[in-house]
Chains A and B, each alone.
Chain A
């Protein structure tokens, strides 16, 4: 257990990456949809939806985890339905940890995507219309590519943040070694153990390194895509 990296760290790292990847994959399309609705569609409940999307920022993560447990738990309305119809279990599973992470990082992603959408020149979409492009075609061929920097930035930032999501994950998915014990949960567990100081330090350093790497990668990616888009 003294070698670096030990299997506990590897497990935690692997799980964190898996959870972050799955959460981003799940929430990205929804974030694009939410950003589009919030930016382009005028409807009465827009302010409410906007607030709802941003709610995880201001709520205690534990509260979010608890609400998820009520909804998606084995006896929750959505959880029970998913279990009977699709055999999907969310509470206390890796998928559940990914869901909790997705909910927590959703506002971050929507924010970045929305900003990029607001920067898309509507004039270009009009030009595409006059060239015969119908709405979906227009979105795919013009709007989406021009939003790419924001989408990538949102995805990478959400991924980096997702690696470290703690409160909602531990509440909703618990702290099961190899299943839901991601980096921060492993760090927390190590800190609780009388002999875990060294492990805790290594996990903390790993988290630092990952976070830094994620943010730098995000910035580099955005720059490259901007260049590609001719800005």
Chain B
């Protein structure tokens, strides 16, 4: 059953003004994305109820959690909104089991999101139950914090940069657990991050924040084409997010064939079954355009496409928006290349995509979403 998280709040701080509105469909993973200081954590604390807005309202489905005009402010402890803090905030005087049971005991009447044993298995916590938080590694702590929040039977899970305090190896250790949560439990999540790679791997809906304001929000593939996102991630990470279906695997080569739009795409991809949905981030700087069929190149994909539009990006280059069999792809080329090719909207071009330049951006999305 789908419903909406609707947020429209104003919070004034001595040196900061948060004035943010967005509405996003659930279940799914809503990413609040922006640089540090953009108001992400403040926004999450407002949703949790740990902060009260000066004005505004917050609704989860039909329920009004906060409405300053009507004087409604549901107490934090009655919101049933799980919160995974960046610094985990595990209770030092309790064991891992004590921490996990803390919320579970206090939510006995709510419908469970996940059983205790199931949570242990999903998060790999069986061996840690008797330990104290200080005896855990950073990744383990974060997994316990996740389990603790889930077992409190939340309707919505807030995750405030849960991976920010971890090194790359630990991050890779925890990320698959988050993906598993999204895919196996239909628990709606709000995920705060300043790392676009995490957003790509987890989010279904993207809210872009800068200076306490929502620049734009929408589905991730749509937002990947937006100028607002480009202004946050910078020219190097600009690129279309496209979704495709695995149609064939070449295990020996570690590559897969994807159906994207009406075309097919060869990509480097492992550990994904045929039939899986995959999300690709095609970095605009890695996409090559040709006005004629090319031969003798190592590039694995040459796709017939049409130029939709051309625009100067804010960094001196040109962004070309292309229709590739119904999917929209971005290419970043120089002004000189544009002149040399004489590109105009409506032109037929070949879009060249290296299979390996998509690696690492594979994404298994929620079935049906």
- List residues of A whose CB falls within 8 A of some B CB: 121, 123-124, 126-134, 137-138, 141-142, 145-146, 228-231
Contact = CB atoms under 8 A, between A and B. Distances in A.
A141 B82 contact: no
Interface residues of B, number: 27
Nearest to A130: B83
A229 B92 contact: yes
B142 to A, nearest CB: 13
Interface of B: 48, 50, 75-83, 85, 87, 89, 91-93, 102-103, 106-107, 132-134, 148-149, 152
Contact of B152 (A131, A137, A145, A230): A131
Contact of A130 (B48, B91, B132, B133): B48
Contacts of A231: 92
A230 B93 contact: yes
B81 A130 contact: yes
Given A123-B87, A141-B102, A230-B132, A129 B77 contact: yes
Nearest to B45: A126
Interface pairs A-B: 3 shortest CB-CB = A131-B103, A132-B106, A127-B89
Contact of A133 (B48, B106, B133): B106
A130 B82 contact: yes
B206 to A, nearest CB: 24
A230 B136 CA distance: 12
A227 to B, nearest CB: 10
A142 B93 CA distance: 8
B148 A131 contact: yes
A230 B76 contact: no
Contacts of B75: 134
Contacts of B77: 129-134, 138
A51 B134 CA distance: 39
Nearest to B50: A126
Nearest to B79: A130
Contacts of B80: 132
A129 B92 contact: no
Given A130-B81, A130-B82, A134-B77, A145 B93 contact: yes
Given A132-B77, A133-B77, 5 more contacts: A121-B89, A128-B91, A130-B77, A142-B91, A228-B93
Contacts of B103: 131-132
A117 B134 CA distance: 21
A194 B41 CA distance: 76
Given A123-B87, A137-B106, A141-B102, A129 B50 contact: yes
A128 B132 CA distance: 17
Contacts of A134: 75, 77
A231 B107 CA distance: 29
A231 B135 CA distance: 11
Most chain B CB within 10 A, of A126, A127, A129, A145, is at A127
Contacts of A230: 92-93, 132-134
A112 B277 CA distance: 60
A127 to B, nearest CB: 4
A168 B148 CA distance: 52
A133 B101 CA distance: 12
A146 B93 contact: yes
Contacts of B92: 124, 146, 229-231
A129 to B, nearest CB: 4
A5 B77 CA distance: 59
A128 B31 CA distance: 24
A142 B91 CA distance: 8
Nearest to B102: A131
A193 B351 CA distance: 110
Nearest to B148: A131
Nearest to A146: B93
A117 to B, nearest CB: 15
Contacts of A123: 85, 87, 89
Contact of A124 (B50, B78, B81, B89): B89
Nearest to B106: A132
A123 B91 CA distance: 10
A231 to B, nearest CB: 7
B93 A126 contact: no
B312 to A, nearest CB: 46
Most chain A CB within 10 A, of B50, B92, B133, is at B92
A10 B138 CA distance: 56
Contacts of B93: 145-146, 228-230
A118 B91 CA distance: 17
A127 B89 CA distance: 7
B85 A127 contact: yes
A131 B102 CA distance: 7
Contacts of A146: 92-93
Nearest to A225: B93
A230 B96 CA distance: 12
B134 A127 contact: no
17 contacts: A123-B87, A124-B91, A126-B50, A126-B76, A130-B76, A131-B102, A131-B149, A133-B102, A134-B77, A137-B106, A142-B91, A145-B93, A228-B93, A229-B92, A230-B132, A230-B133, A230-B134
Nearest to B89: A127
A10 B81 CA distance: 61
A230 B131 CA distance: 11
Contacts of B107: 131-132
